[in-house]
Amino acid sequence: MVHVLVFPKGTYAPQVTTSREISMEQFKELLRRVDANNDGLISKGELREALRGLGLHFTRWRARRAMKYADSNGNGHIDGDSEIKALIQVLRDRWGIVVKCP
């Protein structure tokens, strides 16, 4: 079972749920929170931090694999909707985390 950390709007403390689902809004908020330099790009390290925020034991190797899968333009960052969709797919397929899309 994966514990998903949910950051309620207006707070910085996560709430732990036992669901393997997270809403798209919650997922994008999590990515915004880990974007340390606020450039709108998610680096490998930021991705690792975000996925650890979902309660996953996310190693550097896993972060590299997820980045390789999702980074379609090869710039070393997750940026744009198509790359976020690819990241969502790899999360579902490899780690069982479902990001519910509207």
Q: Coil, strand or helix: which one is 3?
A: coil
Could you tell me the pTM of the whole model? 0.74
Task: In whole angstroms, give the CA distance from residue 67 to residue 48.
Answer: 10
Top CATH class of 4-100 equals mainly alpha
Q: Is the pLDDT of residue 15 over 50?
A: no
Pick the more confident residue, 13 or 31.
31
Whether the per-residue pLDDT at 63 is higher than 50: the answer is yes
d(CA 40, CA 23): 19
Query: What confidence tens digit (pLDDT) does each residue in 48-57 have?
Result: 998 888 777 8
Per-residue pLDDT averaged across 53-80, rounded?
A: 89
Tell me what pLDDT residue 17 has. Answer: 47
